[in-house]
Amino acid sequence: MNDPRISELLRSGRAGDRVTVRGWVRTKRDAKNVCFFEINDGSCLANLQAVIGKDEATNRIRIDGISTGASVEATGRLAESPGRNQRIELRVDELTVPGDAPPDRYPLQKKRHSFEYLREIAHLRPRTNTIGAVMRVRNSMSYAVHRYFQERGFLHVHTPIISTTDAEGAGEMFQVTTLPIEGLDPANGVDYADDFFGKRASLTVSGQLEAEVYALAFRNVYTFGPTFRAENSNTSRHLAEFWMIEPEMAFCDIHCDMDVAEEFLKYLLDRLLADCAEDMEFFDRWIEKGIVENLRRVAEADFARISYTEAIDRLRAATVSFDYPVEWGADLQSEHEKYLTEHVYGGPVIVTDYPKRIKAFYMKQNDDGETVRAMDMLVPRLGEIIGGSEREDDHDKLLRRIEELGLNAEEYWWYLELRAFGSAPHSGFGLGFERLIQYVTGMQNIRDVIPFPRAVHTAEF
């Protein structure tokens, strides 16, 4: 447990130090008198070069087990490396190979594999440079999320994963049941009294409604958990299981909501650039050229803020043609979102005051009777990364909206009651964690930024 990690050795290991390194072989190269191999232990992108003299090898150390993918425990002294690519290397004099990886069968050879292929071997892909870098960035961003909120006195709430309320009212829930599905005849109706919870239950689509409960006691709270959507969207930005960060703030209107969202994203970018420099250089070189400079600029810019109506005007004035029509009342498609961010504003844009018809029931209604105090943050290359709003805090207006939309008001009784006792203006938003990781790494497909992707017809492992 306490042996030094490769990231540490590459940074501060000194020639002459005797160390044991444990990890996996990335490559092996035989020269006349020596065998070189590169060890990676996941702590950083770079490998540690290990060297074994062949006389040593033939005499005492079995080197035939060393091949790409094998696990090794290598002991020796660090030495200054004569090679150009590294400062130090490990001169090995003791070696064990706990698990070999026969080259004729190990699926990850030195060549570059396609991301599609790597998805089929999600149990081995964390050993590649790209997925390794993605997962380190993911880890850093997760930590930064908690830091941001904890430094500001937000309470972390663990909202439930099994829920009996549809938080978005969109009916895109995976049902949770212990009823024997094979024997059910839906035509006869299902009696949920016999089900595990005594009522219909599902996997949550959002922790927002429960976060609201806590915001109306603790003022500022956040939840960061898995959410599930049974939407049939087979795209590069949709998952059926994804992680979402949802802050909820009492006595905060939509302007305050936007300020927090913008400050939060910039904070995450600052941390990313400071804490993940090596991995970000990798993405800049191999995945999305110029991304580091681009994110640096975003971290310093003021985000544009426009209304939905202005967005529609901008899109109508566009000289390019879109696949989906642009008309007031229709939802923005990802091509529209990309056009606004990439061509009109050249950076993130926050769009507010959407038509109520295309937004969730809980959003605060504007006086015009047509729009709601929604705010979506759109970013270049990706489109929507954050969705949020001020919440309807008027009991009767909320109840009317729930009924108008044909939702079952009884299901929302406790949510409505928050508006009957100590209601207060409040707002929040949801940041899709995988969308964030896609945005900051430049990865094209959302399935490559989560360890085990679940999407339509995809749930291996």
Q: Which positions lie near ligand 4AD, rule CB under 6 A? A: 167-168, 206, 208, 229, 231, 238-239, 242, 244, 246, 384-389, 428-430, 432, 434-435
Q: Minimal CB distance to Mg ion: which residue?
A: 387
CB closer to ligand 4AD out of 221 and 292: 221
**Measuring CA to CA, which residue among 66, 129, 135 is closest to residue 95?**
66
Nearer to Mg ion among residue 142 and residue 334 (C-beta): 334
Question: What minimum distance in Å lies between the beta carbon of 428 and ligand 4AD?
Answer: 5
**Which entry of Mg ion, ligand 4AD, none binds 93, CB below 5 to 8 A by partner kind?**
none
Query: Phi and psi dihedrals of 80, rounded to 5?
Result: -65, 135
Choose one: 102-110, 275-283, 292-300, 383-391; the region binding Mg ion (CB under 5 A).
383-391
Beta carbon of residue 362, minimum distance to Mg ion (angstroms, whole number): 13
Q: Which is nearer to Mg ion, 89 or 212 (CB)?
A: 212
Smallest distance from Mg ion to CB 376, Å: 6
User: Residue 385: which of Mg ion, ligand 4AD, none does it interact with, CB under 5 to 8 A by kind?
Assistant: ligand 4AD
Pick one of Mg ion, ligand 4AD, none as the site partner of residue 244 (Cβ within 5 to 8 A by kind).
ligand 4AD
List, in sequence order, the alpha helices (H) in 22-114: 54-59
- As given in the structure block, the two tokens for residue 345 are 């504003």
56 or 246: CB nearest ligand 4AD: 246
In the complex, minimum distance from the CB of residue 32 to ligand 4AD, in angstroms, rounded to a whole number = 53
Scan residues 137-176 and list those touching Mg ion (CB under 5 A). none
Residue 387 lies near Mg ion (rule: CB under 5 A): yes
Instruction: Read off the DSSP letter of residue 110.
Output: S
What is the Cα–Cα distance from 430 to 438, expressed in whole angstroms?
16
Q: For ligand 4AD, which is the closer residue by CB, 127 or 435?
A: 435
What is the rounded distance in angstroms from the CA atom of residue 142 to the CA atom of residue 449? 13
Q: Which listed option, Mg ion, ligand 4AD, none, makes contact with residue 432 (CB within 5 to 8 Å by class)?
A: ligand 4AD
CA distance linking residue 184 with residue 48, whole number of Å: 59
208 or 441: whose CB is closer to ligand 4AD? 208
CB of 11 to ligand 4AD, least distance (A): 35
Strands, sheet with 349-355, edge to edge from the N-terminal-most edge strand: 155-156, 220-228, 241-250, 426-432, 383-390, 371-379, 349-355, 304-307
Shortest Å, Cβ 430 to Mg ion: 8
- Give the list of residues 6+ apart from residue 22 with CB closer than 8 angstroms, or none: 3, 41, 71, 72, 73, 74
CB 62 within 8 A of CB 95: yes
**Closest distance between Mg ion and the C-beta of residue 57, in Å?**
59
Considering beta carbons, is residue 354 or 412 the nearer one to Mg ion?
A: 354
CB of 158 to Mg ion, least distance (A): 23
Contact 441, 133 (CB under 8 A): yes
- The answer to whether residues 331 and 351 touch, using CB atoms and an 8 Å cutoff, is no
* Helix ranges restricted to H, 276-306: 277-286, 291-300
Q: Which is nearer to ligand 4AD, 170 or 190 (CB)?
A: 170
For the CB of residue 22, give the shortest distance to Mg ion in the complex, in Å. 44
Pick between residue 201 and residue 215 the one whose CB is nearest to ligand 4AD: 215
Rounded CA gap, 110 and 28, in Å? Answer: 10
The widest CA-to-CA distance across the chain, in whole angstroms, is: 86
Token pair for 220: 């500022």
For residue 278, which of 180, 137, 109, 445 has the smallest C-alpha distance? 137
d(CA 48, CA 11): 11
Q: Which two tokens stand for residue 235?
A: 């795209």
CB 78 within 8 A of CB 90: yes
For residue 331, the minimal CB distance to Mg ion (Å) is: 9
Question: Interface with Mg ion by CB under 5 A: which range of 161-169, 224-232, 348-356, 385-393?
Answer: 385-393
| CB closer to ligand 4AD, 4 vs 442 | 442
CA distance readout (Å), 38 to 45, 56, 71: 12, 18, 11
Binding region for Mg ion (CB under 5 A): 387
